[in-house]
Structure 1
């Protein structure tokens, strides 16, 4: 992770339809095959379909989830704010093969989300591919292109088949794809503004994405608007499940090609390029630097004096269970009254960096003296070995929500607990 910090894209299927103010969303767990490397057979995987799903803030999704997979499946949405009825394991039990589940999701916040069905997939038969979910605001920012770059990591055997996370990666080769392809190339006229939504869909690895020789302005992290800032050296670092929305302007003479690099902590790989097209410039000059994205009505201040404080050690199996062993009767990690701020003290006692993910509520990373917080919200945070981080959030939505942790090791198990808001 330290090395990454220093270094500092299939058609959509018609899965949604609108009626009477609600939007129907049909998702299906299904088997498919993808081509990940030339010269080898296609890789069998499980998926939720192809292409990103796009909705508007304020939509209410009437979700129908069916599974054709031969194993129990739990559907989750990373970045979803306060929808306990959609929570896997705490509210929605794993879906058996051939079964169907229905529930509603109110989309309270605009942003970049991730729909995933891999919660129970550690060490299973096949990897499970996630799907991007984009929720646009009522007053969207002016951009000329809005593109998703879903970064996936695969561990391939010699025969071209891929193993899921949670399995021993011995004798496998790491492969990375962007939107299921080996590279992502995009062309835009001079002075065009692009919104690139980077999603780290690797189940275990921290990744960095770098655009060379261009200003990369970070506008949102984990689906929530941030105070805009320039990424150091044009690179954004993403823990597994992190999302980062950036604005870039296509500048330079026609034919200018800007490399897109991916770094997994060991080496950098070229995964695409941004080319300035030979078309006439789209405007005489680039846009001025963008103001912050419209807010999602999160609290401007957190009164930490009134917060409940909870020590939550990571990297130790005590009180944490694998998702397949989770039972709703397990005692919660903590409970809070609705409207109360919560401070979690996260100490990583493992020998590897550990990724923490909080369902239901975005959080702030606190300064070391608890006298302020970083100017962005997160739902996922990677913590170095031996490091302690303090985070804070407003317990706004009553219900039961999961907490996840996993080490940045392909074979490491994902572990879960839950918390309650009353």
Structure 2
């Protein structure tokens, strides 16, 4: 808790320096977490299940109301970009405004949905998430912006509605065709629980994470990667095409996530392109693996959960082809360390992070062994974060 107080105190001083120390202006503070997905990767836009949790790393905001209708926003993590200014109405994507397009996109989809901002803000941002790590810094700031707007203007939206608008901002404004998982985990996270979410229906339940002497360790490849320009949208299109071919033999099918493994094996021949067949196979098997993994965890079979995490990585590597040398190296090294229950890539891939379940007494050895060999093989060092499972986006008291 002290750490949060220290961060906010530092932010208050920076806020006064950037926006003027007008004592009459009250600031409100907010926190929006990042997320890590324990299992269920690239299933969300295929109508399958995911099993993410919100983490204690995330994005803080200090917010003060302005009298006019413009917003000034500044990130302590992107000091070189300076204070970025935008109007609270009629926005369109502006490359020059860089990272501010994420909050701008949320303002725009709110306005389009009939929730028009009555004034602008001065906003100071500070993030504890490593950038481009695949821990959803973009979803974190989108849901944060949604809550700031909802709070300031009493729009009366519930969190699921804010989550949907945040996803829409990323899809339609930023142009990344992401599924709902990231924003959902960020907004709906709950301390010490992961969320089993059916991305087809948005039905969800919380599952208590009792790891029994183990912790979630996130390892960042530190490889730069950009989602929008990566092969993400290509994978999505491949799955959609495969689904359309399957619909020709099974017209009632709405999503790949509706198929059992057996059904898929029977129907797979209808997908003409071998590569698309592989992509669809990952989506189907990963969905069913996720359900099996949650069942194992709820039966206190952590070892089985770990084994399924490993299988998830094989599938993402071999069928979905989204891992790459850095992520594969991290996962393979993790599997060799005593005390590692399971390890896999998390997030979109092509860089970013792995998530590992590691026995607490093995964490230091894990960092040392994986860090040393990865650095030798790749040429630069990874970063390690032991993650606590946190609550979703909220106003800080």
Compute the TM-score of the two structures, normalised by the length of structure 1. 0.29
Q: Whose strand proportion is higher, 1 or 2?
A: 1
Greater RCO structure (CA 8 Å; 6+ sep): 2
Compute the TM-score of the two structures, normalised by the length of structure 2. 0.31
Q: Whose helix proportion is higher, 1 or 2?
A: 2
